């Protein structure tokens, strides 16, 4: 992907998402069990952040 001369400033470094799926008449939600040292073993929604050296896109 070619880089543009028009930079879009990133004002946030984290993201969270809730993934829902309707099955018949029930809504299901995707949860992930954390393996990292922060909240280890906790069930959480999808989330993350931009690591150093990564680009937002």
The pLDDT value given to residue 50: 83
pLDDT in tens, the chain (57 residues): 556 567 777 777 788 999 999 999 999 999 999 998 888 999 999 988 888 888 777
The pLDDT value given to residue 11: 74
User: What residue segments make up the domains of the chain, in order of their start?
Assistant: 1-57
DSSP state of 17: E
The pLDDT value given to residue 19: 95
Q: Are 41 and 52 in contact (CB under 8 A)?
A: no
The pLDDT value given to residue 3: 60
The pLDDT value given to residue 21: 96
Q: Are 19 and 46 in contact (CB under 8 A)?
A: yes
């Amino acid at each position: 992907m070619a880089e543009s001369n028009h930079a879009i400033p990133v004002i946030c470094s984290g993201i969270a998402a809730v993934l829902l799926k309707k099955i018949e008449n029930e809504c299901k939600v995707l949860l992930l069990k954390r393996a990292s040292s922060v909240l280890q073993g906790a069930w959480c929604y999808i989330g993350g952040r931009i690591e150093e050296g990564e680009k937002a896109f």
